[in-house]
A and B are shown apart, each in its own frame.
Chain A
Amino acid sequence: MRIHAPASVPAVVDRLLEDAVVAAAVVADRTLPQRDAVVRPFPSWLDERLRRGLHARGIEALYAHQAEALELLHAGLDACVVTPTASGKSLCYDLPVLQAVIDDPAARALYLFPTKALGQDQLASLRAFADQAGVELAAGIYDGDTPTLVRQTIRAAGQVVVTNPDMLHAAMLPHHTKWYQLFEQLRFIVIDEAHTYRGIFGSHVANVIRRLLRICAHYGSRPVVVTCSATIGNPLELAESLTGRRPALVDRNGAPSGEKRVLILNPPVVDARLGIRAGALRLAERCALGFLRAERQTIVFGGSRHAVELMLIRLREALREGRGPVSRLRGYRSGYLPTERRAIERGLRSGEVLGVVSTNALELGLDIGRLDAAVLAGYPGSIAATWQRIGRAGRRLEPSAAILVATSHPVDQYVAAHPELLFEATAEEARLDPENLHVLLAHLRAATFELPFEPQERFGQAEAHDLLAFLAEEGHVRQADDGRWYWASENFPASEISLRSGADVNVVIIDTGGDRPRVIGEVDQFSARTLVHEGAIYLHDSRQYHVDRLDWDEQKAYVRPVDVDHYTQAELAVTLKPLETFDAVDTRGGERWHGEVMVSSIASIYKKLRFETLENLGWGRIRLPEIELHTTAYRLALDPAAVADWKRDELDLALVGAGRAMQTVASILLMSDPHDLGLVSQVRSPHAERPVVYLYDGVPGGVGLAGRLFARHSELVAGALDLVRSCACQTGCPSCTGPSLETGGDARAAAIRLLAWLAEQATSRADAA
């Protein structure tokens, strides 16, 4: 049989399942049935030209969700549109906006997208549609690349202005008088890809939108706000937090889709003691190859740039055999030039590009058409993101397939053990906290700069008076004789706020061993202190590197390849001090609590441990600054009497193991990155005087994760128990209770004992949440 021969998607899937390696790894195999379109006629008010434009695109009717959104927006009501990838979401707002512009050429709209690329993509398609419809439309993009002259035109006459939250925050709002024509006539604000506005970034964006609406009110406009989001658990709540308004929910998807086969694969265990599994990338490549060789358009998602490059190289190698379509397989990630990316997107739409290996860069709504198959090397970290990626495969009529390959990461293992989570559970909730005091104060400064505050004016959920009085103490704000609060400083407060700060800052790892320095990877700031401190042995792609220098200010670690018989393990000393109790509820097992804390962490020493024997070969000092974090935390405190019969070591082991599992489950429950939550366990807390486990929010002030964990305590405990119980390892492994070398002893058994006891307590009492 020829290696490369066109075949249908079901045929490829059947062939894959005949492959013993693949078949053995299958933990779930579901078929999502075909769904027919639910359509509605065009609304009577829709202009003839827009109808013609739609006809030109072969559109004779609207999908139910589009029709619903159109009616709301046309009636001047806010809407929150939640639909899957490629369901014609843009038309939901483009049509009402174009209709408004036809009815009144002075009408204007503001489109917000999280990235420049998305903004450009949407603008191009809006312009193309306006052309097809024969509607005169002045639309322009306003971002850092817009030339000065074009900026002036956009300000004065842009009917649709496309921008991103960063530009709105730093360039438009502080100069709102130059944009008065836009703000006076603003009828629509479109917030697309709203699910990306979560965590601390979302908290910032929500405050930018508060400032925007405040400026609109000043100019006498009250725009309709439409929020569009991918499928998440709490779209309405997200839209409310972001906009401060209560939109109507539009979530009945009317777009058709063909039958879709979804497989979840878990590579086999190769070392039961350490809980190590075979590589996920290899298995993902094996699956992708089947589709590519059958001429089926395929997207492969990798978790990192490195994974993407590795899979790309190996897939191309494999395709070369039998003269496969090597050049039709492309890589896609940040770091590729915009023109190159646009060419790949076009190639995917036209079918010229057969396959693409991508990072999450293609998870957002860039238009790449619909493909035959999606292969996910690793769980993307949330149900919502998984469906976003899976949604890339799925033609309107033909069958499609999606394959998720789990890595040995704990979250992946949890999903592999509970595949029903993906199919039956509602997607995660997107969390943000616009009332985060640090964020709120920063934006209140910017808002005062933009417009004085009236004596009783609110900003967000409460009156701004107390906060303004606080700001007045540092002298940047003052209350004048008329009772209003004015900006009274030379500073430009918007420049002091970066919307995307914090966890986005990574330390780049540079290999200096070769002919010229080469970037081999990156780690986030928090992990950097324990992974790439000076003297560390850093493992990367199964090679050892010695860290020669860590430039903390420049965020660069310089390494060179070595071959030694040991590895290093850094100790991070974390101290945590509770500052204020928000809420505490007794449970018979102890007490759950959430409140404000101060977390200080310092990496001070590291050990050198010999492979195999784990013999201690010596130690070294780490000289890095202490990091302080003023944030919110959830705490589980055990009743000391109830654990009196535990040995101290055993209890320590149980707390660490259970804590790790809870941290994993928490990130699944709350749709957050596992790094967003820190873990501290104490056998005897100096503050609570009991054994405790803390999970704290990883950003200053927090984004409300702790409060949600407090509310979902019983789910957290039950989930953690489940995770540890269903793990394939013997005495605890990185996939459940954390690396067993670190803890020693039977962490798994200890954690199960503790969690089972807690779960029983939790279920025997009605949980107040």
Chain B
Amino acid sequence: MPTELSRMAPRLSGVAIDAGQRARRLERLRALDRRLVTAAELPTPPPRPSFADPMERAERLAVGLGGAVETMPAGPVVVVERRTRLPVDLEPLRRLPYPVDPARPLISLDTETTGLGSSTGTVAFLVGLGSWQGDEFVTQQLLMADHADEPALLQAIDARITTDTWLVTYNGRTFDWPLLETRFRMFRRRAPVHAGHLDLLPIARQVWKHRLADARLASVEAAIAGVQRHEDLPGAMIPDRFFGWLRSGRPELLADVLDHNREDVVSLARLLGVMAGVLADPERRRKEHPGDLAGLARAYARSGRSDDALACYDEALSAWDAGDPAPSRLEWADVAADGARLLSRVHRHVEAEAAWRAVAERGGGSAAWAWIAIAKIREHRHRDVHGALEAAGRALAIVERRRAIGVPLRGAERDLGRRLHRLRRRAARAPVRHPASIG
């Protein structure tokens, strides 16, 4: 190096680099950074075991965690395999409005990383995979013992995710998979092609979140599958555990991380079980919270299956008062309004009007909006100006009552101001017609 430097230095601009000088400047920077602590206060660096042989490091980790070393062409990967009895019939998943094909091999996937985001400096050091073998759910956790083993880890993933695989993740579309794509891309390779990807986070948000404090996987699992975790490692501590292992060579630092990851992978399987066994079964889901059914109904509606959606809304509304404790009237009105809107969308206007009437009859602030909706249907669909005026008048009565007690419905007031004005003008010109006379 010195000869090369002496050749470079006079040619290139800037300060000529003298290796000795730079070393001294670094030394001074060290001193500057540490001047606030005395030498005694400096933490003693832990003795760092040196692993000349990558195999040796991987063996040590595998032994410490109860796993085995798998040798890939690019190097060693630690694989920790566990089995749990989890008999599930996944076939009913087909009935649900979610993109999943139970005939394919479903693989649950969850990663543990050195940071958030999918920028290039974040590494997935642990990738947990899980799949059914008969009634048993088998988890395989792939772990790199050193940064240098990442290519081997990626090879191990590549070998397990076939083109036929359907991935099941929690926020995997946004986080885990893009991160893995980044990791493969770092080695100028493509992430494994697979048949599909079912992300349970948006489903959980739609179906269960309304009755939970947050949508974390552990919270959802506790509420839905009744599984409480004990001594679960907070996610924020995970990166430090990995760096700790790299520094100290103590496998036990990663034991909690492995448990946490395995819990997550198994949770995904349990949630799939609940989806197949409860959500996809019209009889069993009747006993669930009506809000869950409303969420499912919305999912059906979004995927264009309006008959299924309407059936779900019906189930939700009819099961409402049986609920214990009964959910609030406001929630009921929201669900009923969703159903009524869907009826309008599929041009079943008579049923839609009936549905809105049901909302109106339950009273409350929603009733004003229900009468406004009825006024719209009568005016625009049935060409019945007088009927519309009558409905708008009922809405006005509610709005005025609300204002009198000091809880005004401002949006409805503004809407009615314009609507009544127009309807009155049109009614003055139109002869009174009975709605039944419409051809």
Q: Are B185 and A241 in contact (CB under 8 A)?
A: no
Interface bits A467-482 vs B (CB < 8 Å: 1, else 0): 1001001110010111
A219-B188, A437-B29, A490-B114 as given contacts; A461 in contact with B14, CB under 8 Å: yes
A285 contacts the other chain (Cβ, under 8 Å)? no
Asked if A461 contacts B121 (CB within 8 A), the reply is no
| Contact pick for A461, options B9, B30, B186, CB 8 Å | B9
A482 touches B148 (CB 8 A): yes
Interface status of A719 (Cβ within 8 A of chain B): no
Contact B120 A176 (CB under 8 A): yes
Partner of A175 from B1, B25, B120 at Cβ < 8 Å = B120
Is B147's CB under 8 angstroms from A452's CB? Answer: yes
Q: Give Cα A219 to B188, complex, Å.
A: 7
Nearest neighbor of A702 in chain B, beta-carbon distance: B15
What per-residue 1/0 map shows which CB atoms of B1-35 lie under 8 Å from chain A?
10001001100111101010111111011101100
B14-A432 in contact (CB<8A)? yes
Q: Chain B, interface size: which category?
A: 35 or more
Select which of A177, A237, A489 is within 8 A of B120 by beta carbon. A177
| B412 CB–A CB distance under 8 Å | no
Contact A580 B21 (CB under 8 A): yes
Q: Is A704 an interface residue (CB 8 A)?
A: yes
Does any Cβ of B come within 8 Å of A630's Cβ? Answer: yes
Task: Given A461-B17, A488-B147, decide whether A449 and B1 contact each other with a Cβ distance below 8 A.
Answer: no
In the assembled complex, A487 has its CB within 8 A of some CB on chain B: yes
Question: In the complex, are the beta carbons of B147 and A486 less than 8 A apart?
Answer: yes
- Look across to chain B and name the residue whose beta carbon is closest to the beta carbon of A632: B15
- Decide if A241 touches B14 in the complex (CB within 8 Å): yes
Q: How large is the interface on A (under 10, 10 to 19, 20 to 34, 35 or more residues)?
A: 35 or more
Q: Which residues on the B side are within 8 Å of A218 (C-beta)?
A: 188
- Taken together as a complex, chains A and B put the C-alpha atoms of A707 and B121 apart, in Å, by 36
Residues A478 and B186 in contact in the complex (CB < 8 Å), given A240-B12, A449-B120, A461-B8: no
Q: A461-B9, A470-B30, A482-B148 are in contact. Are A492 and B119 (CB under 8 A)?
A: yes
Residues of chain B within 8 A of A241, CB atoms compared: 12-14
Contact mask B22-58 → A, CB, 8 Å, 1/0?
Answer: 1111101110110000000000000000011110010
Does residue A433 face the partner (Cβ distance < 8 Å to B)? Answer: yes
From residue A484, how far is it (CB to closest CB) to chain B in Å? 7
B121 contacts A492, C-beta separation under 8 Å: yes
Q: Is B435 on the interface with A (CB-CB < 8 A)?
A: no
Which of chain B's residues have a CB closer than 8 A to the CB of A467? 26
Residue numbers in A under 8 Å from B278 (CB-CB):
none
Residue of A nearest to B121 (CB): A449
Residues of chain B lying within 8 A (CB to CB) of residue A103: none
Contacts of B181 in A (CB 8 A): 177
Chain B residue contacts of A580, Cβ below 8 A: 21, 24-25, 28
- If over half of A's interface residues share one DSSP class (helix, strand or loop), that class is named, otherwise mixed; here it is mixed
Main secondary structure of the interface of B (DSSP, over half): helix
A488-B114 contact, Cβ under 8 Å, with A219-B188, A580-B25: yes
- The minimal Cβ–Cβ distance linking B260 to chain A, given in whole angstroms, is 17
- A313 contact set on B, CB distance < 8 A: none
A192 is an interface residue with CB less than 8 A from chain B: no
Cross-chain contact A481 with B246 (CB below 8 angstroms): no
Which residue of the partner chain, among B15, B21, B182, contacts A707 with CB atoms under 8 Å? B15
B239 proximal to A (CB < 8 A): yes
Q: Tell me which of B21, B30, B185 contacts A473 (CB under 8 A).
A: B30
Contact check, A704 vs B120: say whether CB atoms are below 8 A apart.
no
* Residue picked from B17, B33, B148, most chain A C-beta under 10 Å: B148
Contact at B115–A490, with CB atoms within 8 Å? yes
Chain A's closest residue to B56 (CB) is A481
Among A174, A461, A470, A481, max chain B CB count under 10 A is at A481
Complex Cα distance, B14 from A237, in Å, reads: 9
Is the CB–CB distance between A478 and B147 below 8 Å? yes
Q: How far is the CA of A482 from the CA of B246 in the complex (A)?
A: 13
Residues of chain A lying within 8 A (CB to CB) of residue B54: 481-482
Q: How many A-B residue pairs have CB under 8 A?
A: 125
Docked complex Cα distance between A450 and B120 (Å): 5
Considering the complex, which residues of chain A in the window 680-716 have a beta carbon less than 8 Å from any beta carbon of chain B?
704, 707
Which of B15, B118, B181, B243 neighbours the largest number of chain A CB atoms within 10 Å of its CB? B15
Tell me which of A220, A240, A450, A481 contacts B121 (CB under 8 A): A450
Taking the closest CB of chain B, its distance from the CB of A714, in whole angstroms, is 21
| B282 close to A (CB within 8 Å) | no
Flag whether B59 is at the interface (Cβ < 8 A): no
Q: B residues within 8 A CB of A433?
A: 14-15
B22 interface neighbour in A178, A180, A462, Cβ under 8 Å: A462
Q: Does B338 make an interface contact (CB < 8 A)?
A: no
A492 and B120 in contact, given A452-B147, A461-B9, A582-B21 (Cβ under 8 angstroms): no
Query: For residue B81, which residues in chain A have a CB less than 8 angstroms away from its CB?
Result: none
CB of A435 within 8 Å of the partner chain: yes
Does A412 lie at the interface of the complex (its beta carbon under 8 Å from any beta carbon of B)? no
CB closest chain-B residue, reference A240: B13
CB <8 Å contact, B25 and A596: yes
Chain B positions within 8 Å of A492 at CB level: 115, 117, 119, 121
Q: Inside 8 A of B9's CB, which chain A residues have their CB? A: 461
Q: Would you call A541 an interface residue if the criterion is a C-beta within 8 Å of the partner chain's C-beta atoms?
A: no
Rounded to whole angstroms, the CA-CA distance of A218 and B189 in the bound complex is 12
Q: Does B379 contact A (CB under 8 A)?
A: no
With A437-B26, A461-B17 known as contacts, the answer to whether A175 contacts B146 (CB < 8 A) is: no
Find out whether the CB atom of B115 lies under 8 angstroms from the CB atom of A451. Answer: no
Q: Mark A568-596, 1 if CB is under 8 A from B, else 0.
A: 00000000000110100000000000001
Chain A, residue nearest B53 (CB): A481
Name A706's closest neighbour in chain B (CB-CB). B15
Report A651 CB to chain B, min CB distance, Å.
32
Q: Tell me if A612 is interfacial: C-beta within 8 Å of chain B.
A: no
* Residues of B with C-beta under 8 A to A219: 188
Residue of B nearest to A445 (CB): B121
> With a CB–CB cut-off of 8 A, which chain A residues contact B57?
481
Known: A461-B5, A470-B26, A579-B28. 16 other contacts (CB 8 A): A174-B120, A174-B121, A175-B118, A177-B120, A180-B188, A219-B188, A234-B13, A241-B12, A449-B121, A450-B121, A451-B120, A462-B1, A462-B19, A482-B147, A490-B239, A491-B115
Closest 8 CB pairs of A and B: A449-B121, A482-B148, A177-B185, A486-B147, A490-B115, A480-B147, A487-B121, A480-B148
B residues engaging A (CB < 8 A)? 1, 5, 8-9, 12-15, 17, 19, 21-26, 28-30, 32-33, 51-54, 57, 114-121, 123, 146-148, 181-182, 185-186, 188, 239, 243, 246-247
Using a CB–CB distance below 8 Å, which chain A residues touch chain B? 174-178, 180, 218-220, 234, 237, 240-241, 244, 432-435, 437, 441, 448-452, 461-463, 466-467, 470, 473-475, 478, 480-482, 484, 486-493, 579-580, 582, 596, 630, 632, 704, 707
6 contacts between A and B (CB under 8 A): A240-B12, A449-B119, A451-B120, A461-B5, A467-B26, A478-B246
